[in-house]
Amino acid sequence: MFKKIFTTVMVGSVLTACATSPTGRSQIIFMPDTQMNQMGLQTFDQMKKDKPINHDGKYNQTAQCIVQAITQGMGVNWEVVVFEDKTLNAFALPGNKIGVHTGMMQLVDNQDQLAAVLGHEVGHVLARHSNERASQETLVQQGMGLIQQTSYGQNALTMGLLGLGSQYGVLMPYSRTHESEADEIGVDLMAKAGFDPQQSVQLWKKMEQASQGNQPIEFMSTHPAHETRIQQLQAHMPKALELYKQAQAAGKQPKCL
């Protein structure tokens, strides 16, 4: 019964909300982009009020320079803020907002490794991952609501198991897909801008060392394991290196540090 109901909801959503990501992957997206952008703007504004902002000229100039090089020709302005936070993190929000923590700035060895981080975040926005994620969660909630109206919904244990199944069987795998896709989009963006894409692999090796084995197992994580990301990036590297070669030939040699 669950499969039949969920399939009905899924098919209906697919027919009305089909989209394609920059890598050619089929997506289910039905949230208005204007609404997502507004949410991103509000969230970013609140974060700037709640979190201390770093005003170091070197950090800010470097981050801004890299994002400008990566997004050149996109026709939109991106706001980049460096937050005073020791954690190894960066993030992107709909509406072209990017935040990067000082901990990440201090981890990287060069502009190319930071370009891998920021290119990844731009990739999330270009692929509309926040919208897709919100659409997926809405879809799962609709399916669970229908289940509650059946005899299955009378059993609390069954509902708990169904919720667990949707979390690990649908939402998390899709989130790992988003991360891998953002890696691919990001490494292509950095290569096209003239940053060395091979440094993306070095970045994740540094991230793996910094995690000291504390990363949760891949099945129960929203992110791919570090070694998985490295393998995927290495497999994609021939294409990225060709883009890098073309950028170099066109005179694209960013100097952001």
Q: How many other β-carbons are positioned within 10 Å of the β-carbon of residue 214?
A: 6
Residues 97, 79 contacting (CB under 8 angstroms): yes
Axis crossing angle, helix 226-249 with helix 172-192, rounded to the nearest 10 = 20
Question: Residue 156: its pLDDT value, please?
Answer: 55
Please say if the pLDDT value at position 8 is more than 70. no
Backbone angles phi, psi at 82, to 5 degrees: -95, 120
Is the model more confident about 138 or about 159?
138
Q: What is the DSSP letter of 26?
A: E
* Paired tokens of 13: 């959503």
Question: Residue 175: its pLDDT value, please?
Answer: 84
Identify whether 121 is a catalytic site residue: yes
Compute the distance between CA of residue 141 and CA of residue 131 in angstroms, rounded to an integer: 15
Catalytic residue among 79, 121, 227, 242: 121
At 2, the pLDDT band (50, 70, 90 cuts) reads: very low
Question: Residue 164: its pLDDT value, please?
Answer: 52
At 205, the pLDDT band (50, 70, 90 cuts) reads: very high
Please say if the pLDDT value at position 117 is more than 60. yes
Concatenate the DSSP letters of all residues of 144-169 into one string: HHHHHTSGGGG-HHHHHHHHHHHIII
Mean pLDDT of 35-54: 94
What's the whole-number average pLDDT of the chain? Answer: 83
Question: Residue 6: its pLDDT value, please?
Answer: 45
Residues 98, 67 contacting (CB under 8 angstroms): yes
